[in-house]
Amino acid sequence: MNKKKQLNIAIVGLGNIGSYLYQYLLKNRERLRKKTNVLLNVSHVCAKNIKKKRLFVISKNKWLRNPLEVSTKNNIDIVVELIGGSDGIAKRIVFSALKNKKHVVTANKALIAKHGDQLAKIAEKNNVNLEFEAAVCGGLPIVRSIKEGLIANNVSKVKGIFNGTSNYILSSMDKDNITFKESLNKAKRLGYAESNPKSDINGEDVASKLKILTSLAFNTYINNDIHVEGISQVDQEDIINANNLGYKIKLLGISESENNKITQRVHPSLIKNNHFLSSIDGVQNVVIVNGNPVGQSVLQGEGAGPRATTSALVSDISSIARGNIKYPFSISDIERKKLKPNSIKEKSFSAYIRLDVIDKHGVLSNITSFFSRNKVSIKRLIQNPFKSKKNSSIVIITHSSKETNLNKTISQLSKKKYIIKKPKLIRIED
């Protein structure tokens, strides 16, 4: 149990999440005191715009004009960093706070994914906590589940849907029969996508989260060797084709350990309609962990937004209040491993391949010859004529084939004059 009867908290960043957290901690002081035996007091706040109109009042004596002050003030016990970004002021605050023996709670996945190893060393050296539950799928307690709830397990695989924005876009394209652009604009209107949703769409957000989960699950240092693809190339025709074939398209993050090597990959995947993951729609996140002896564990819920993120932040703050001083990545730095990466090129997949072609004699036989030559076996082939009847779309489902052979086939076909559009390849995930 924490010896202190009160812990002073500084919140740096008062956007939607910081504002919601501030109000939550004030309204639930007594409730949290009963659960932690500690009074959690928001003693200081810091934001870019002090004069911004807010729906609540903050007394003048709580404001800090210089955010770096939170790391040096003696009366601050916990620094909650909600600025974001892997570098800049957020990095300086967190590094300085840990060095000055203050606990840090953050929702900053980019920071942890890039500097987590260094930060963990500093936290361990100074016997303080670095907590980042809110950095990965906010509403799902996946970080604490892996660190504590699944501590008995030898984890072999982690996979799931880690980004609500991309999942909403793909779900909306499917259910509403609209284009990628229309679905993205709809997500922006509803507040599910930022004005600049680049990191959500190109897979970078999922990649950051996956790197963190990989480190936790396999007791490794953060590994930057990761294959990343986004969803911007998925169009309506792919969605329709997937439905006709009995699949849904989802952006997955997958990490698995084989022979002391780690494979990390982020890419759209075809999921069978009867698989649990295919039913995860909208802004929902889900994480599946395969371990021994537990088997398969599943966590599902909203991954982002003020409510879900606050739930994770308060969980971390409460853990500190209860006196749970622990290693940021579950084990001490000296015990963490450097596992070699295993390239996605070494793996085999069944795949969905779409070729938009000039519809003329000999094209189909020429295409299949490339597949045969590269040892890619065709399981199913469908030819869909365009309305013009001059062109058609050829959809191929392959048997499990080497990634290198699949890519070689696509590369060779893309150079042929009868191919009128860049070929599509989407892996099929069992």
- 284 in Cβ contact with 301 (< 8 Å): yes
Cα dist from 339 to 224, 226, 256, 257, 343, whole Å: 12, 13, 12, 9, 13
Q: Is 375 exposed, middle or buried (0-12, 13-18, 19+ CB in 10 A)?
A: exposed
Own/partner pairs for 48-55, CB < 8 Å, 24+ apart?
A: 52/14, 54/14, 54/19, 55/19
Residue with tokens 């003329």: 360
Closest by CA position to 14, among listed 53, 51, 45, 37: 45
- 71 in Cβ contact with 47 (< 8 Å): no
Helix (H, G, I), strand (E, B) or coil at 121: helix
What is the C-alpha separation between 179 and 174, in angstroms, rounded? Answer: 9
DSSP annotation of 220 reads: B
Own/partner pairs for 292-296, CB < 8 Å, 24+ apart?
A: 292/153, 292/154, 292/156, 293/152, 293/153, 294/150, 294/152, 294/153
Beta bridge partners of 356: 393
- 80 in Cβ contact with 315 (< 8 Å): no
Cα dist from 65 to 6, 51, 80, 353, whole Å: 24, 12, 16, 55
Closest by CA position to 252, among listed 297, 301, 207, 221: 207
Q: Answer yes or no: 102 catalytic.
A: no
Closest by CA position to 44, among listed 23, 29, 24, 22: 22
Residue with tokens 């007394």: 59
Put the strands of the sheet holding 39-46 in their side by side order.
Answer: 39-46, 6-12, 78-81, 103-106, 130-131
Active-site option among 102, 109, 209, 250: 209
What is the C-alpha separation between 232 and 201, in angstroms, rounded? Answer: 6
Helix (H, G, I), strand (E, B) or coil at 179: coil
Cα dist from 369 to 40, 174, 363, 400, 410, whole Å: 69, 33, 10, 18, 12
The catalytic site residues sit at 209
